[in-house]
């Protein structure tokens, strides 16, 4: 179980302190598929980074399985069972897809095991396994490889920061299938930052984050009807249209 207790996060903005997250409390139960939505600038990505240890809260505590991980590094949290798929994945010259999946798995994965993870995200393994994770890959390919690294880690908690941002329609359809499958397998907690109606639809729980605080948190059945037709739950065309301003 993941618990955020009274979390605040401030940044310095032209000599004045700006609050990004304000005394936020949130509990993610084991095995739940939770989608976090809310307006741009509401603090969604920041919250995800605070959980992974990429940012450190100004105040508050983060507990993972009852253990206080607030002071732990990114590496330590990764080893405890937290995975993170970036909104804009890094590119690496010379590191191949196979290398990256092996690093993610933490062992010398067999080629066939790596291929399974790639097939899972809809990539033809044979074409990609020896490709470098560099600028030659398209945004959609990179994004799917990013998700494959999270699958290869197989951790208790997986966080996806706007998985739909920057990918084409075809890749998006594929992505939804990946999450639907993860939803069915449902052995771990999944936290997805997304405005996407299709992703919100497969959630167990929905969290609406606004002004750095939890505005709503509840079962999908309760929350989703209120969101439909707003910017917090956009259809695929809407999202692709406003892709440029997705944060």
Residue 148 binds to other proteins (criterion: CB under 8 A) = no
Site for other proteins contains 98 (CB under 8 A): no
Alpha-carbon distance of 79 to 81, in angstroms, equals 5
Cβ closest to other proteins, residue 99 vs residue 204: 99
CB of 79 to other proteins, least distance (A): 5
Distance of CA 133 to the CA centre of its chain: 19
- Asked if 192 interacts with other proteins (CB under 8 A), we say no
Other CB atoms within 10 Å distance of the CB of residue 106: 12
User: Considering only 57-65, 100-108, 171-179, 183-191, which stretch makes contact with other proteins by CB under 8 A?
Assistant: 100-108
Cβ of residue 29: shortest distance to other proteins, in angstroms? Answer: 23
C-alpha to C-alpha distance for 125 and 119, rounded to whole angstroms:
6
Rounded CA-CA distance 210/62 in Å is 20
**Residue from 220, 150, 139 nearest 178 by CA:** 150
Closest CA to 65 of 57, 54, 56, 77: 77
Residue 83, interface with other proteins (CB under 8 A)?
yes
CB closer to other proteins out of 80 and 215: 80
Site for other proteins in 25-64 (CB under 8 A): 52, 54
Q: Is 217 in the site for other proteins (CB under 8 A)?
A: no
Give first-to-last CA distance, the chain, whole Å.
Answer: 27
Q: Which residues bind other proteins (CB under 8 A)?
A: 52, 54, 73-75, 78-79, 82-84, 86, 88-96, 99-100, 103-104, 106, 149, 153
């Amino acid at each position: 179980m993941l618990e955020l207790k009274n979390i605040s996060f401030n940044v310095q903005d032209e000599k004045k302190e700006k609050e990004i997250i304000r005394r936020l409390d949130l509990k993610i139960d084991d095995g739940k598929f939770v989608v976090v939505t809310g307006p741009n600038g509401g603090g969604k990505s920041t919250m995800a980074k605070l959980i992974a240890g990429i940012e450190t809260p100004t105040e508050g505590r983060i507990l993972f399985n009852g253990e206080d991980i607030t002071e732990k590094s990114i590496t330590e949290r990764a080893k405890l069972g937290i995975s993170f798929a970036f909104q804009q994945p890094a590119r690496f010259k010379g590191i191949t897809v196979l290398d990256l999946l092996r690093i993610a798995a933490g062992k010398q994965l067999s080629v066939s095991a790596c291929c399974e993870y790639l097939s899972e995200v809809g990539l033809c393994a044979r074409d990609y396994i020896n490709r470098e994770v560099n600028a030659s890959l398209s945004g959609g390919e990179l994004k799917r490889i990013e998700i494959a690294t999270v699958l290869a880690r197989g951790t208790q908690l997986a966080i996806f920061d706007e998985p739909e941002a920057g990918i084409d329609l075809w890749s998006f359809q594929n992505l939804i299938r990946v999450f639907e499958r993860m939803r069915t397998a449902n052995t771990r907690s999944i936290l997805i930052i997304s405005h996407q109606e299709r992703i919100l639809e497969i959630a167990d729980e929905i969290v609406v984050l606004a002004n750095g605080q939890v505005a709503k948190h509840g079962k999908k059945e309760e929350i989703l009807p209120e969101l439909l037709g707003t910017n917090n739950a956009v259809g695929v065309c809407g999202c692709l249209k406003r892709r440029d301003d997705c944060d």
